[in-house]
Structure 1
Amino acid sequence: MTVVTKSLRTEVENEKKLHGYTDAQFKQVTGVSVEQLNYPRSITFDQLDGIAMFFGQARGWLYDVYLEECLSDEERLASKRYQVGSHLFSQGMIKESIPFFRHTIQSKSMVDEEQFAISHYRLFETLITVGGLEANRETVFDLEKHYDRLPRGMQLDATLKLTNVFYTFEDWKKVEWYADELRTLANSIYQEFIENLSNTPIQAERPLVVYYGQGFLLKGIALTKQEQHEEAKMYFTECSNLGWFKFLDDDGKKEVDKFRAIAKANMLLLELETGNIDVLSALVEYLEGYPHRTLPIMLSAVQAANKRNLNIDELLLRFKESLNNLNTVEHYISSKQLFIYFCEKAKYSLRKKEVSSHVDELLQALEVAKRMKYFTGFEMCVAAIKKTIDALSEDQKERYKQLLGVKNE
């Protein structure tokens, strides 16, 4: 019995015969000679992708063959799989990179500490993008153990994302903790620049001032949620006054202006949190100037109204359509905010004995939960709707059945 071993050369030769290409045509388009295929370590991932495109194959078609042929021991194989995962991730092939990062993590003793930490971070990014946070909480907790071993620019991004994740989980103590970590790390990097200890640009996704400002902003929000209003004001004040920050380019200056505006909104919401409805007109004016902030501001407003038994009908009516139009958002954190908003709005309507609106809003929340695969939220909405099942109109009953996947007989 003959065992057929795959190699880059044999795979390419088979495809050439199938399509009728010559060696010269192959080299002209891919930049790789047929002879070079006998020495696969000289070939880059970009060239592998070019070969795949030449034959009409998907990117990554030759990766497994390449790895098996190039590497003879487990340690080098683990390191190369990390490189493949990183390449796929950089090319936007998020889902395809997952098994390569998983393999790196499983080969902990065979890769260096930085590759191991980056693999956890990339897996966190890919899984919350592909599968959502609820299904991948364990990935979040794994990253918590390793994020401080990341390169510092990447550590800034990881810390900010972890803070936002725990914001979504409504774990305000964790938000506080990571907001402090974010501010401390950003300040440490800033001080090194000030003291000329480093002039190497950080490899982060956003300007340094963003991480420093977000540390103040998210700390203030976490304190607000725990009703520590006076302490929260101090952090919002700091967030609004970042013009002193040095080394600001045009993008950095724009971020400083954004923080000033966001801090103003949070100061208004703090007033509403304490029962001051005189700020409603100022909130309307703010949202008309910053419509992209409608969801988080309206969520905080309706939560404050429910907590303090306030009447904010005019505000809710003014931005009702804007929020309904957001019902197709795909980003997990925004979807979770929208889900909570409809749940809070349903409570508000029930408090005012507007049962039909209460049901409509629960159905909207149910739809968002279904789309984002937030199963706990889905079950919560179903339980709430069952309490008012007799009050559902025929249209509401029909929509409810559709969301449950119940077919009419």
Structure 2
Amino acid sequence: MEQAIVIRSEIRKCMQEEGFTLGGFSKATEIRGSYLSLLLNHDPHKYPLPMRHFDSMIQALGKPEGWLYECYVDECFITGKTDRRRVEPFLLRCAELGKTECIERVLSRLMENLNQLSLVFEIAEKVHAAGNQQGAVPFYECVAEHEKHQHSETLAISQYRLFRAALGQDLHKNRFAATRFAPFRKRLPVEYQLDGLLQLANTYYTLSDWRRLGECADELIALAKVVYQEQHQRKTSKREKTPLNTERHLVLYYGKGYLSKATAYEKQGLYAESKKCIEGYADLSWFEGLDEVGKKEVQMFQIFAVANSYTLEILMGHSYVLSEYTNYLSMHKHEILSGLATILESANKYGFSVDETLEMLSKEILEFKQREDLPGLGWRLRFHYYLSIYFLGKGKIAECIENTLQSLDLSVIINNSGAFAQAVALFELCRGQATDAHLNNYKGLLEEVRKRERFNLGFHNY
């Protein structure tokens, strides 16, 4: 009640300061004069202030958006019970303006009655649908904390939304987000399951968690096959056809399952098994229901299949395909970064020269800094690390140090403590020939890690 009085008192005071009469303020806010008088001068219990009128008053008085919102929290419950007509628009506006403290206070009051949890979820979905992924997080966290039925669909969707919102450049945080979401993946509706498995596969890939990537790939393949068969059956039957509401075309999930499984095998040195999985996505032109988007996905998988076949040859030490692979990369620029990292990894292992390849693709190498997405950052880290080892083997210590420092910097950015430790060991090996500029750069990176104090030293996947 006290906060309701504060709101009305402040509005009346500002009206006087701005020279508003009741009639003038009525015109400015487009609120009927008699009703405006009741809102500002009578018992707030009988005449609660609607959210839309409150915002109109704020605008008419020239106050910043969100003015006195901290006081409006009590207004949502002023009649002694939850009034959705005030609670919902207020929470939506708070999410829009980033008023997290106000949101938390309202949610705390709402959770005194757990029957309001469905309202919280509905608001979360509206905020998310408006494109405000981070603004929806407090609402989904509220559902995750208070939903008692662990097999609830709303709980599973909330965990999925939280997982997607948590993903970023920090590998440690991504691992935590994946671990938290994974137990709920099979409780999602089918369309969310497909997207959830796709995002889990992408996350396990960036974490270099090849075992979990393989398991996730198996689930994605199996689910995509079931959905494809169901869609095909609906098409040939007279039953009502329900469109599949997924973020990507169904063929993407099918192909990505085989691509992820092939990658998991490849990273574990199981090259024969990886080759078989490549066959699973190399030609998906048979896939029924392909529109223009689906056809483009099929074309991309064809490109991936060729590139990954070259990758396997290189990883097995078959340097005779290097020239052919280099020409292929020059024609498919989006494959150059990962391709070069793989070529350098194999060159270091088998001792063949890649100088001509590096020279041929030198212009493209200069563009690697444009890759700021997490997979791109991971591949840049690997490229510079393997390149530093390559230069070390050729006795080019200055170039080795420069690339080591770049891999150190990237490992800090994505919070990869395992890669950081490997790069530190490599730098220390060359410290005796480092310049003052190199040493200052190195010291600065170590200071950055110390200040952040965020590396998870138990995480050593590279």
For the aligned pair, the TM-score class normalised by the smaller chain equals 0.7 to 0.9
Of 409, 413, 426, 1:371 maps to 413
| Equivalent residue number for residue 161 of structure 2 | 122
Q: Is 2:411–2:419's contact at 8 Å kept on the other side of the alignment?
A: yes
| Equivalent residue number for residue 224 of structure 2 | 186
TM-score normalized by the length of structure 2:
0.75
Residue 397 in structure 1 maps to residue 397 in structure 2: no
Q: Is 1:345–1:358's contact at 8 Å kept on the other side of the alignment?
A: yes
Shift of residue 214, structure 1, vs aligned partner: 0.6
Give distance in 2, aligned partners of 1:225 and 1:349: 24
Q: Which moved more, 1:108-117 or 1:9-18?
A: 9-18
Residue 362 in structure 1 maps to residue 404 in structure 2: yes
Provide structure 2 residue ranges, at least 5 long, that are not aligned to the other structure.
Answer: 32-49, 57-74, 449-462
Residue pairs, 1:305-320, within 5 angstroms: 305-320=347-362
| Equivalent residue number for residue 156 of structure 1 | 194
Give distance in 2, aligned partners of 1:189 and 1:337: 33
Q: Is 1:81–1:100's contact at 8 Å kept on the other side of the alignment?
A: yes
Shift of residue 156, structure 1, vs aligned partner: 0.8
Amino acid at match of 1:236: I
Pair 263,67 (structure 1): closer, same or farther in 2 beyond 3 Å: same
Q: Is 1:89–1:97's contact at 8 Å kept on the other side of the alignment?
A: yes
Q: Is 2:178–2:200's contact at 8 Å kept on the other side of the alignment?
A: yes
Give distance in 2, aligned partners of 1:248 and 1:405: 53
Q: Which moved more, 1:39-48 or 1:362-371?
A: 39-48
Shift of residue 31, structure 1, vs aligned partner: 9.8
RMSD: 3.4
Pair 51,229 (structure 1): closer, same or farther in 2 beyond 3 Å: closer
Amino acid at match of 2:395: K
Amino acid at match of 2:162: L
SS where residue 170 of structure 1 aligns? Answer: coil
| Equivalent residue number for residue 137 of structure 1 | 175
Shift of residue 107, structure 1, vs aligned partner: 1.3
Shift of residue 187, structure 1, vs aligned partner: 0.9
Of 249, 269, 272, 1:207 maps to 249
Residue 78 in structure 1 maps to residue 121 in structure 2: no
Residue 41 in structure 1 maps to residue 84 in structure 2: yes
SS where residue 248 of structure 1 aligns? Answer: coil
SS where residue 279 of structure 1 aligns? Answer: helix
Residue pairs, 1:230-379, within 5 angstroms: 230-327=272-369, 329-379=371-421
Larger Rg, first or second structure (1 or 2): 2
Amino acid at match of 1:371: I
Residue 4 in structure 1 maps to residue 2 in structure 2: yes
Q: Is 2:175–2:207's contact at 8 Å kept on the other side of the alignment?
A: no
Give distance in 2, aligned partners of 1:166 and 1:209: 21
Cα deviations across residues 236-255 of structure 1 (Å, max 9, x unaligned)? 12211100111111111111
Of 210, 213, 218, 1:175 maps to 213
Shift of residue 360, structure 1, vs aligned partner: 1.0
Shift of residue 386, structure 1, vs aligned partner: 1.9
Q: Which moved more, 1:242-251 or 1:387-396?
A: 387-396
SS where residue 317 of structure 2 aligns? Answer: coil
Q: Which moved more, 1:13-22 or 1:132-141?
A: 13-22
Q: Is 1:210–1:255's contact at 8 Å kept on the other side of the alignment?
A: yes
Q: Is 1:78–1:111's contact at 8 Å kept on the other side of the alignment?
A: no
Shift of residue 173, structure 1, vs aligned partner: 2.2
Q: Is 2:51–2:86's contact at 8 Å kept on the other side of the alignment?
A: no
Q: Is 2:330–2:361's contact at 8 Å kept on the other side of the alignment?
A: no
Pair 27,361 (structure 1): closer, same or farther in 2 beyond 3 Å: farther
Q: Is 1:48–1:60's contact at 8 Å kept on the other side of the alignment?
A: no
Give distance in 1, aligned partners of 2:12 and 2:92: 16
Cα deviations across residues 216-246 of structure 1 (Å, max 9, x unaligned)? 1111122222232222222212211100111
**How many equivalent pairs are there?**
396
